[in-house]
Amino acid sequence: MSDSEVEFESADEGSQGGDGWEIESDFDLPDVKPLSVESKLIGPTLSALSNVSDKVNTEQNFKRENENTKQSEKNDASSAVAMAQSKLDKLVVNNDNCTQPGPKVSEVVQNEIKQTNTQGWGGWSSGWSVNSLLSTASALTNQVSQGITNVIGAPAPEQLASVDKDKEIKDLKEPKVNDELTEESSESILDTNYFLSNVSQITKIVETTGSKIISGGLDTLETVGKKTLEVLQDGDPGLRKKRAIFFQNTEKINLSQVLQEAKEKAEVESKQNNQVEIRKGYAYLLDSFQGLIHLESLELLSKQCQMKLQTVLLSYSGTQLTDIQDKLDQIKDLCYLDYDDDEKIMTIEEFKNSLITCINQISTDVKIEKILRVSHLIDEKSNKEFDSEDSIHDEAISALAELTAAAMELFYKLGEMIMIDTQNQLVTVKAEKLSLLNESVCCRIRFIANKYASLLTKYDADGTSNNISDVYLESSNSSSYIQDAAQLLIPILQLSVI
Amino acid sequence: MADLMFDYQFRLILIGDSTVGKSSLLKFFNDGKFVEVSDPTVGVDFFARTIQIPSGPRIKLQLWDTAGQERFRSITKSYYRNSVGALLIYDITKRASFDHIPVWMNDAKRHIEPHRPVFVLVGCKLDLVNNGASKREVTEEEAKQFGAEHNIFTVETSAKTGSNVELAFSAITQEIYQRIKSGEYQMEEGWDGIKSGYSHHSASIDFNNYIEAEPAKSCC
């Protein structure tokens, strides 16, 4: 191995240092509904709570029916409650002394998590990992709720009572209990006659016990939650990687996908119509001018940056976080176009000057020769003689698609350069210039559309043809694709300030 | 502009050190022209060309030309995953570029996993050696030996004369197609390495019927 190879390898290592990059290269994650995860996580809380309150209700009813019969019954109920709570506590803290559901739950959790880890969040198969996280989550929640149900619902009252009755009575009698409500309950137990005559008092006690169960249950669930989070965070502090995966799924469907589908649909349709030559629609032309592939790549970069951004944001808190978010919002605002003047057009000279200004402020590594050449050729073509109305229409659509594709390529290249550019002090300037660039291309699109529309008018004096509206339609589509593409640069810019 | 009709689309990635000639190779394959001076690639460039496998399907090759420069490495890495094959490019007049080939290969393997990518090893700038302008630093035997060890196709090319350029791309395409036929590769949702093309939108059996039915005017 030569020296240079050693250098090469170490440089390579450096570039992939533990910065969470790996996970972000997995951009093609299948769509997962983050909400379903949330609801699964919340689910057990609710069901456990309802278990608890069911139990309380049952006890209350039971109590009311039998209130004047036996005090021991009440003791049974409260001891059952206390038993349930202590079992819950054991379950939660994963106490070694606890024999039943506690260890089961935590074992299952850890096994599942282990599986998840071996599948690797950073590997190619994030789709898998997401699924496995989901199944882990659901398995975990099933186990937890099952465990809680078992503990609260299963043991026979008399069994619980025989075990803990003595202890329970002692507890209740203890005067040092500082809870006011508990004191009331202990008083009532001391005086049986008073107890029997005071119906409202006993209901209150049951209620108190009920609320104790609920608050105990909540504590329990909180501890369960904490433990769960702890296990989930094992090897993934702050759940960054896992969150990153869910964040990106909240995004809307990719524009490139939509365009791709439009293109394919058009192809299939024209094939079905048995056309010898497929009419080259806008989406098809955009693709053949490499517009779609650049858009797709820009989406990829944008997603990566978005995920990285979320990861970075998770490491901040308090005022620091607010400051950063303000900064990010500022950049975002700068990138949005003002629609003050949607009639504005640019001549080819103005367009060129505007582009040069923009590029010089963003990245001189990016070449604008291509888009200028395309723009120039389009201009030349629009000045030639046309032999038919349809040929003007086709030329117009092609021109719009070609300029849009060139813009996509330019935006993509700018995205790449912004991403690797380490000089970030000018990021607000870059954002402003990107917005200007965006506007310039849209002005140019409008110019082209106007020009072809006026050519078409000569052929179509009575306005019966759809050609003109077709040209304007694609022109407005072009503008919105360009604006959407420009907005994909926002996370890339934002990331460069952090 | 790539043809509309194709049966499969393969995504291929060109990797190798900076200035070995990846972009020139691709430009010749795409336009049949050699560009004397070219700027270093920024990030990743795209090309597309459709080629016909002899008595086989039409394949649209989507070619991803990556920047060799180290500073773009974080970006270019993102493109490995959705590739089915990689052209490992070195400069036959520059020893170091050949020595780095195993690194590039392992990088690609790691990122394309679990798919087993098809590699070809392509030496560039054969014309410089042939006309005596530069000294050869990598022998053909060495390259062949490397190819035999890793079971990959090797070829020496010139983007200036066009020598063997077509062969390099058709070899990798053939091999990928063989692996499709053998069932090793399948189209997968969420992986863009191999996609079916336009003519596959209707199941292949329908497509055949359609062709046959046409003369009888019984279609549609």
Least confident of A252-256, A427-431, B93-97: A252-256
Give the residue ranges of DSSP H helices in A120-254.
126-153, 157-173, 180-190, 192-197, 199-233, 240-249
More confident of the two residues A219 and A14:
A219
Please answer yes or no on whether B103 and A16 come within 8 Å at the CB atom.
no
Alpha-carbon distance of A227 to A145, in angstroms, equals 14
- CA distance to partner chain A, nearest, from residue B141 (Å): 18
Can you state the angle between helices A255-272 and A291-314, rounded to 10 degrees? 150
Please answer yes or no on whether A5 and B96 come within 8 Å at the CB atom.
yes
CB-CB neighbors (< 8 A) of B4 in chain A? 267, 278, 284
Residue A365 pLDDT class (50, 70, 90 cuts): confident
Least confident of A28-42, A217-231, A316-330, B71-85: A28-42
What letter represents residue B45's amino acid? D
Residue A27 pLDDT class (50, 70, 90 cuts): very low
State the pLDDT at residue A190.
Answer: 53
State the pLDDT at residue A276.
Answer: 43
State the pLDDT at residue A427.
Answer: 86
Alpha-carbon distance of A477 to A85, in angstroms, equals 63
pLDDT over 70 for what percent of chain A? 50
Give A213's contacts (C-beta < 8 A, 6+ positions apart): A52, A55, A56, A81, A84, A85
Q: Which of A137, A109, A105 is nearest to A245 (CA)?
A: A137
Mean pLDDT, chain B, rounded, equals 87
**Buried-exposed string A164-200: b where 16+ CB fall within 10 A, e elsewhere:** bbeebbeebeeeeeeeeebeebbebbeeeeebeeeee
Please answer yes or no on whether A293 and B192 come within 8 Å at the CB atom.
no
Please state, in angstroms and as integers, the Cα–Cα distance from residue B143 to each residue in B13, B36, B120, B199, following that order.
20, 26, 11, 38
Q: Nearest-5° angle of CA A367, CA A369, CA A374?
A: 130
Does residue A61 contact residue A143 with C-beta atoms inside 8 Å? no
Interface ipTM: 0.81
Q: Which of A439, A417, A442, A438 is nearest to A427 (CA)?
A: A417
Please state, in angstroms and as integers, the Cα–Cα distance from residue B155 to each residue in A438, B21, B101, B120, B122, following that order.
45, 14, 14, 8, 5
Our CA dihedral for A251, A253, A259, A261, rounded to 10 degrees, sits at 160
Which of A9, A25, A278 has the CB atom closest to B81's CB atom?
A25
Does pTM surpass 0.80?
no
| Chain B interface includes A21 (CB < 8 A) | yes
Alpha-carbon distance of A370 to A403, in angstroms, equals 10
Alpha-carbon distance of B108 to B115, in angstroms, equals 10
CB-CB neighbors (< 8 A) of A123 in chain B? 113
Our CA dihedral for A484, A487, A489, A495, rounded to 10 degrees, sits at -150
Please answer yes or no on whether B74 and A274 come within 8 Å at the CB atom.
no
| Chain B interface includes A76 (CB < 8 A) | no
State the pLDDT at residue A199.
Answer: 64
State the pLDDT at residue A119.
Answer: 44
Residue A489 pLDDT class (50, 70, 90 cuts): very high
Least confident of A105-119, A269-283, B16-30: A105-119
Please state, in angstroms and as integers, the Cα–Cα distance from residue A129 to each residue in A121, A137, A464, following that order.
6, 12, 57
Q: Does pLDDT of A295 surpass 90?
A: yes
DSSP code string of chain B: ---S--SEEEEEEEE-STTSSHHHHHHHHHHS---SS-PPPPSEEEEEEEEE-TTS-EEEEEEEEE--SGGGHHHHGGGTTT-SEEEEEEETT-HHHHHTHHHHHHHHHHHHTTS--EEEEEEE-HHHHHTTSS---S-HHHHHHHHHHHT-EEEE--TTT-TTHHHHHHHHHHHHHHHHHTTS---BTTB-SEEE-GGGSS-HHHHHHHHHHGGGT---
Does residue A37 contact residue A130 with C-beta atoms inside 8 Å? no
> pLDDT tens digits, residue range A130-167?
555 555 555 555 555 555 545 444 455 555 555 555 55
**Buried-exposed string B75-107: b where 16+ CB fall within 10 A, e elsewhere:** bbbbbbbbbbbbbbbbbbbbbbbbbbbbebbeb
Which of B39, B72, B78 has the CB atom closest to A304's CB atom?
B78
Alpha-carbon distance of A120 to A23, in angstroms, equals 9
Alpha-carbon distance of B45 to A366, in angstroms, equals 12
DSSP label of A385: -
- Residue A111 tokens, joined: 């096994």
Please state, in angstroms and as integers, the Cα–Cα distance from residue A294 to each residue in A167, A219, A409, B184, following that order.
73, 53, 5, 30
Q: Does pLDDT of B12 surpass 90?
A: yes
Which of A12, A264, A272 has the CB atom closest to B103's CB atom?
A12
- CA distance to partner chain A, nearest, from residue B27 (Å): 15
Please answer yes or no on whether B48 and A124 come within 8 Å at the CB atom.
no
- Residue A451 tokens, joined: 């020009």
Residue among B37, B45, B214 with most chain A CBs within 10 A, to mutate:
B45
Bridge partner list, B90: B123
- CA distance to partner chain B, nearest, from residue A79 (Å): 56
**Buried-exposed string B35-65: b where 16+ CB fall within 10 A, e elsewhere:** eeeeeebbbbbbbbbbbebeeebbbbbbbbb
* Section A388-410 average pLDDT: 94
* Section A457-468 average pLDDT: 78
State the pLDDT at residue A390.
Answer: 87
Please answer yes or no on whether B220 and A274 come within 8 Å at the CB atom.
yes
Neighbours of A156 (CB within 10 A): 9
Q: Does pLDDT of B43 surpass 70?
A: yes
CB-CB neighbors (< 8 A) of B202 in chain A? 268
Q: Does pLDDT of A77 surpass 80?
A: no
Neighbours of A316 (CB within 10 A): 14
Give the residue ranges of DSSP H helices in A120-156.
126-153
> pLDDT tens digits, residue range A50-65?
554 455 454 455 445 4
Please state, in angstroms and as integers, the Cα–Cα distance from residue A312 to each residue in A23, A307, A355, following that order.
14, 9, 33
Neighbours of A424 (CB within 10 A): 13
Residue A127 pLDDT class (50, 70, 90 cuts): very low
Neighbours of A135 (CB within 10 A): 13
Please answer yes or no on whether B113 and A124 come within 8 Å at the CB atom.
yes
State the pLDDT at residue A472.
Answer: 92
Please answer yes or no on whether A293 and B48 come within 8 Å at the CB atom.
yes
DSSP code string of A100-111: SHHHHHHHHHHH
Does residue A257 contact residue A371 with C-beta atoms inside 8 Å? no
Binding-site residues on chain B for chain A (CB distance < 8 A): 1-2, 4, 39, 42-44, 46, 48, 62, 70-75, 77-79, 81-82, 95-96, 99-100, 103, 107, 111-114, 189-192, 198, 201-202, 219-220
Most confident option among A237-241, A265-269, A388-392: A388-392
Q: Does pLDDT of B202 surpass 50?
A: no
CB-CB neighbors (< 8 A) of B77 in chain A? 16, 21, 25
Least confident of A215-219, A346-350, A488-492, B114-118: A215-219
Phi, psi dihedrals of residue B58, rounded to the nearest 5°: -90, 135
- CA distance to partner chain B, nearest, from residue A14 (Å): 10
Please answer yes or no on whether B43 and A127 come within 8 Å at the CB atom.
no
Please answer yes or no on whether B74 and A419 come within 8 Å at the CB atom.
yes
Mean pLDDT, chain A, rounded, equals 69
| Chain B interface includes A28 (CB < 8 A) | yes
CB-CB neighbors (< 8 A) of B1 in chain A? 288-289
CB-CB neighbors (< 8 A) of B213 in chain A? none
State the pLDDT at residue A343.
Answer: 77
Please answer yes or no on whether A25 and B192 come within 8 Å at the CB atom.
no
Please answer yes or no on whether B103 and A366 come within 8 Å at the CB atom.
no
